A and B are shown apart, each in its own frame.
Chain A
Amino acid sequence: MRRFRAAVVLLCLSATAILLSRPSAGDALAERAHKLHFSSIVLDTHDDTTQRFFSKDFDLGKRNAEGSIDIPRMKEGGMNAIFFSVWIDGRILGPPAVQKALDQIDMIREAVLRNSSDMELARTAADVRRIRAQGKIAALIGVEGGHMIGNDIHVLRIFSDLGVRYMTLSHFYNDEWADSSTDKPAHNGLTDFGKEIVREMNRQGIMVDISHVSDKTFYDALEVSRAPLIASHSSCRALCNHPRDMSDDMIKALAAKGGVIQINYEKSFIDQAYKDAADKISGGVVAQINQFEKDCNHDEACVEKKVTEAQRQLTAEGKLPRVSWERIVDHIDHAVKLAGADHVGLGSDFDGATMPEGMEDCTHLPQITEALVRKGYSDADIQKILGGNALRVMEQAERVSREMLAEQRGADRQ
C-alpha cells in the first residue's frame, strides 16, 4: 500500500512541477484554470495561523519560511478570504478559556489592523465580496470549540459581536454540552443547553460548525439549526475512516439542509494508508506530542512545527507513507458526487495539521482549481467549491439571524 502510494506521489510530484510554473501558452486548460482561480473568491474556512500571532518573530505581512499562511503567499495562491481559527485546548474551561479566546480574537483583530492595506476584517458575505473587490484579503474569525464560551450565552454573543462567524460545537474533547467525535460520549449528542446554544448562534448569524463533533451531535445540531451548517474542516470517511471525517450519510444530510463540507487537507484525514500507519505508532505520536507540549511550554505554534518536523522525519524513515495533495481532490470529488458541487468547499487546516506533499502552503491552491478543471468541472462549480458555497451558507445564516431578530421584536411588542 505504502509503496503503491509512493509511486503515485512521484507521478503527482512531476505533475505538480509542471502545474507550479505559469501555464504554457499551449495548455488551454491550464490557462483557463489560472484565469478562473485568480478571478474567484477563494475562501478557506479553517486556518490555525492565529497561534503564530503570539510569536514576536512572526509577521503576517512578510513571507515566512515556515508554516503555510502569510499575506505574500496568500496573494500568490489567490487565497483572498480566510477564517482564522480561535483555538485553545479543550481541557481548559470556564473563565480562563473565555479570556484566552478573547486574547486570540484580539490578536487576529490586531494582526488585521497592522496589515490594513492588504487585509480587512469581514463579518458578512457582502463584506467578503466588497473587500475582495477592493483587492484585499477578507479575514474572518471562527471559534474552534464550544468550551471557549464558558457555558455562558452572553460570551457567545460577545464573540459574535467581535466578529466570530462560526463556532465549532466541540474540539477533541466533549464540551459540557456537546459530544466530540474523539471523546467518549457523555451527553448523547447535544444537551438541552447545547440546543439553546445552536438556536442562539442562529439568532446571532454565527454559522454552526459540526467539524469535530460526534455523529449524534451532528444530527442533533442539524435538527435544531434553522440555518444550514458547515463542517469547517472535515473530509470523507468513505475514503479515510477517521472519526473526524463525515460519513456519506452525514454529507448527504448536511447538503439536504443546504450545508457545506469544507475538505480538510490533514494527511491522516484524507489518506487511509497514512492513518493506518499513524494509528500503529500512535502511542508513540501521542507521547511525542506530550513531550513537544512540554518542550514548547504550551506554545501551540511551536508544537505544530515540531509535529510537522517529526512526521516529516517518520515519512523520510519510511514509517509513514507519503501522501499527495491530489488526495484532497479525491475527497472533493467524492463529496461532489454524493451531494453535488453546491455542498463542498475548502477548509485546509493550514498551520494546524500535517499537509500532504504538494500542498505545503497556500501558494499551491491553484493546483486544486486546475485539477478540477482537468476533471471536467464547470467554471461555475469550481467557483462554488473555491468559496461561493461557504459564502452562500454565510448569507443564509445572516438571513436567518435577521428573521429571528425581527420575530423577536414582534413578540416583544406584544
Chain B
Amino acid sequence: MRRFTLGHIAAACAAGGIVLAGAMRADDGVARAKKLHFSSIIIDTHDDTTQRLLDGKFDIGARNETGSIDIPRMKAGNLGGIFFSIWIPSKITGPEAVKRALDQIDAVREAVRRHPRDLALATTAAEIRAARREGKIAVLMGVEGGHMIANDLSVLRTFAAMGVRYMTLTHSGNDEWADSSTDKAEHNGLTDFGKEVVREMNRLGMIVDISHVSDKTFYDALAVSKAPMIASHSSCRAICDAPRNMTDQMIKDLAAKGGVIQINYHVGFLSQEFRNAERSDPAVNEAIARQVHAKCGDDEACQLLEGDRLTREYVAQGKLPRVDWTKIIEHIDHAVKLAGAEHVGLGSDFDGANMPFGMEDASDLPKITQELLKRGYSERDVQEILGENTLRVMTEVERVSRELSGSAQE
C-alpha cells in the first residue's frame, strides 16, 4: 500500500510539463484541506490518555515525547473535542471499580481545572460548539465498561452528573449484565437489568456505546435504546475480521437508527494482515506482553504506551507487518459506502492502542481531511465525519433525555 502511494507520486513527478500544474493543484488541495480541517470541529470519541493524567509526572499542557495526546499536539491537529476514556480492567468490579472510576473522572476534571485557558469541560453538543468559539478544546468523558457502575443505577447517575456522556456497555470481559465480544457468551446479550441500564442512560442523556460488546448485546441495545447509539472506537469487520469490529449488517443497522461508527486506528483492528500475523505467531504478542509487564508492572498508563512502542519495534524488525495510516481511510470509506457519510466518525484509541505509521499522534489528524478530499469527498461529508455526526448524535440523545425526563415528571 505504501509502496503504491510512493510510486504514484513518483509517476506524477516524472510527467514533466504537467508537474507544475499538478503541483499547483496539489498545493490547492493541501491549502483547501488545511482550511477545511482547521475550520471544522474535530471530535475524537475515544482516547486513553486518562491513565496518564493519574500519573503525577505527566503534564497535558506540555508537548510530550511519548504518547499521542497533549494540548500542544491537539492544537497542532486541531482536535476540538476529546472523549477521555474512563477505564479499568473488567476483572475489577464492585465498589473498588466505582472508586477507581471516580479517581479517573476527577483526574480529567482536575486537568480542566488546571488548564482553564485551553480546556473546557463539555457535556452537550452546544457546549462543545461554545468551547470551540472560545478557542478551547472541549473535554468530554466516556466510561469504557459497564462494570464500573457496580450494578448500581445511582452510580450510573453519579457518572452522568460528573459529566460522563457515554458508557461502553462492556469492556473485554462480560459485565454482570452484558456480554462482551471478547468473552464467552453468558447472558445472551443484555440481561433485564442491562436493558434497564440502557433506558436509564437514555433518560440521563448518556450515549449508549456498543464498542466492545457482543453482536447480540449490540442488537439488544439497538432494540431497547430510544436514542441513536455510537460505536465509540470500532472499525469494519469486512476489512479486518476482529470481533471488536462491526459487520456490514451491524453498521447498516446502527446507521438506520441514526447512529455512528467511530473508526478505531488500532493496527490490529485495521489490518487483516497484521491480525493474521499476530494470530499466526502468538509468541510475538506474548513476548510483548512479558516485556511490557517487566517494565511497567501494574502501571496501566505505562503498559499502554510501552505496548505501542514495542509493537513498532517488532514491526521494524520485520516480525509484524507494517500498517500505514491510510488504512484508517479505507475503513472510513468502507463504512461511508455502506451507510453514508452521516454515520461515520473518528474514535482513534490514541494512548490505548497500537497506532499505524503516519498516525503517531493527534497532530497527524489533518492528513485524514486531506485524504478524504483527495478521494472526492465533499467538504460537508468530511466535516460530518470529523465531528458533526458525533454532535448530531449528542443533540439527539439530549432531546430524547429531555423527552423522557419531562414525561417522568408529569
Contacts and interface: CB of A to CB of B under 8 A. Distances in A.
**Most chain A beta carbons < 10 A, residue from B96, B116, B162:** B96
A95 B109 contact: no
Contacts of B105: 154, 158
B114 interface: yes
Contacts of A150: 99
Given A114-B409, A409-B116, A95 B99 contact: yes
A66 interface: no
B297 interface: no
Nearest to A115: B409
B87 to A, nearest CB: 15
Given A96-B95, A98-B102, A412-B114, 20 more contacts: A94-B95, A94-B99, A98-B99, A102-B155, A103-B155, A106-B161, A109-B157, A110-B157, A116-B409, A152-B99, A152-B103, A155-B103, A157-B109, A157-B110, A158-B106, A161-B106, A162-B158, A405-B113, A409-B116, A412-B61
Which of B105, B116, B161 counts the most chain A CB atoms within 10 A? Answer: B161
A107 interface: yes
B98 interface: yes
B224 interface: no
A95 B116 CA distance: 30
Contacts of A109: 157, 161
B175 to A, nearest CB: 16
B157 A99 contact: no
A98 B98 contact: yes
Nearest to B113: A405
Interface residues of B, number: 26
A283 to B, nearest CB: 34
B126 to A, nearest CB: 20
Contacts of A96: 95
Interface string B63-101: 000000000000000000000000000000011101100
A99 B155 contact: yes
Contacts, number: 75
A114 B99 CA distance: 27
A282 interface: no
A158 B162 contact: yes
Interface size class of A (residues with CB under 8 A): 20 to 34
Interface of B: 61, 94-96, 98-99, 102-103, 105-107, 109-110, 113-116, 150, 152, 154-155, 157-158, 161-162, 409
Contacts of B110: 157
Question: Of residues A107, A116, A152, which shows the largest number of chain B Cβ atoms within 10 Å of its Cβ?
Answer: A152
A162 B161 contact: yes
B389 to A, nearest CB: 29
Considering residues A96, A105, A109, A161, which has the most beta carbons from chain B within 10 angstroms of its beta carbon?
A: A161
A409 B152 CA distance: 37
Contacts of A116: 409
Contacts of B116: 409
Contacts of B155: 99, 102-103, 106
B95 A408 contact: no
Contacts of B154: 102-103, 106-107
A154 B103 contact: yes
Nearest to B155: A102
A276 B161 CA distance: 46
B114 A95 contact: no
Contact of A99 (B150, B162, B409): B150
B152 A103 contact: yes
19 contacts: A94-B99, A95-B94, A95-B98, A99-B95, A99-B99, A102-B102, A102-B152, A103-B155, A106-B161, A150-B99, A152-B103, A154-B105, A154-B106, A158-B102, A158-B105, A161-B106, A162-B161, A162-B162, A412-B114
Interface in A132-153: 150, 152
Nearest to A114: B409
Interface string A381-414: 0000000000000000000000001001100100
A96 B289 CA distance: 32
A155 B99 contact: yes
Interface string A175-217: 0000000000000000000000000000000000000000000
Nearest to A109: B161
Contacts of A161: 106, 109, 162
A95 B96 contact: yes
B102 A154 contact: yes
A150 B106 CA distance: 14
Interface string A156-170: 011001100000000
Nearest to B59: A412
Contacts of B409: 113-114, 116
Given A103-B154, A116-B409, A409-B116, A157 B95 contact: no
A4 B293 CA distance: 76
A107 B162 CA distance: 15
Given A99-B99, A157-B109, A405-B113, A106 B94 contact: no
A106 B159 CA distance: 10
Contacts of A155: 99, 102-103, 106
Nearest to B158: A102
Nearest to B94: A95
Nearest to A153: B106
Contact of A98 (B95, B109, B157): B95
A102 B109 contact: no
- The 8 tightest CB contacts between A and B, nearest first, are A95-B95, A106-B154, A154-B106, A95-B99, A99-B95, A154-B103, A103-B154, A96-B95
Contacts of A102: 98, 102, 152, 154-155, 158
